Copies of this chain bind each other. A is one copy, B any other.
Amino acid sequence: MARAAEGTKQKILDAAEKLFARRGFHGVSIRDITSAAGVDVALSNYHFGPKKNLLAAVLERRAQILNDERLHMLAEAKRLAAPEAASAEAVINAFTYPLNNRSARGGPGWKSYFALVAQINNSPEWGGVMMSQYFDHVVHVFIEALGDVFPDCQERELYWAYHFLSGALTLTFAETRRVDNLSAGLCKSTDLDAVHERLVPFCVGGFKALCEARKKPAGKSRKSPRRGV
């Protein structure tokens, strides 16, 4: 039947995305996934191979879209600011806003995706490799752009600052609702636009403070050795 398969593949990916996000990779069986998708158990193996490949397929599906949007927003920010360097706010916003937009207005699949990414990012089993695989090449572009914004900042500090941003970002879009209880309802995890309005200045302030505290040692700034892929 040729391309009736594409439909089932997407149904399996959708179900896997949702269930992996809720209970984690090991907390979900292939039978859970295929029965939620309304297809036969064997089809997961037929289309995706072993279970780990299914997780990889889930992560890969939306990563490309997200990365394209990030790079497009960054290019636009640079264009508007030229010939001067774009603001730190604009660069960081280009990195975070696509998540905000997709999570708030992209449908439930995107919400599951970000909840899953948060778990992957914080897992020693997957975090060190899978996050790098899908996102690092775009992060390098942003680090370089931030090097233009903070010409006196050491490259190492930019990576550390990105690391902190990454933790805040993934936890935010995981929407675990902990902060809702903690703040007795003052904060609402689900109001993503409101959170994002705070996330960006927090991170901009963090970058500025860290770069200020650890400037480049001596004379000339703006070296920024291009990093290989």
Measuring CB to CB, which residues of chain A are less than 8 angstroms from any residue of chain B? 21-27, 115, 118-119, 121-125, 127-128, 131-132, 136, 139-140, 155-157, 159-172, 174-184, 186-187, 195, 198-199, 201-210, 213-214, 227-228
**A157 / chain B contacts, CB cutoff of 8 Å:** 198
Distance between Cα atoms of A113 and B21 in the complex (Å): 22
Minimum CB–CB distance for A62 against chain B, Å = 18
Contact, CB under 8 Å: A156 / B204: no
Minimum CB–CB distance for A217 against chain B, Å = 15
Minimum CB–CB distance for A214 against chain B, Å = 8
Distance between Cα atoms of A139 and B178 in the complex (Å): 12
With known contacts A199-B164, A202-B210, A119–B128 Cβ distance under 8 A: no
With known contacts A176-B127, A202-B206, A170–B122 Cβ distance under 8 A: yes
With known contacts A171-B170, A201-B209, A209-B204, A132–B178 Cβ distance under 8 A: yes
Q: Which of B122, B182, B195, B209 contacts A136 (CB 8 A)?
A: B182
Q: Which of B119, B187, B213 contacts A160 (CB 8 A)?
A: B187
Distance between Cα atoms of A131 and B104 in the complex (Å): 25
A123 nearest CB neighbor, chain B only: B119
Q: Which of B21, B168, B178 contacts A168 (CB 8 A)?
A: B168
Supply 10 A–B pairs (Cβ within 8 Å), ascending by A.
A22-B125, A119-B122, A122-B176, A124-B175, A127-B174, A128-B180, A164-B198, A164-B202, A184-B227, A204-B209
**A177 / chain B contacts, CB cutoff of 8 Å:** 128
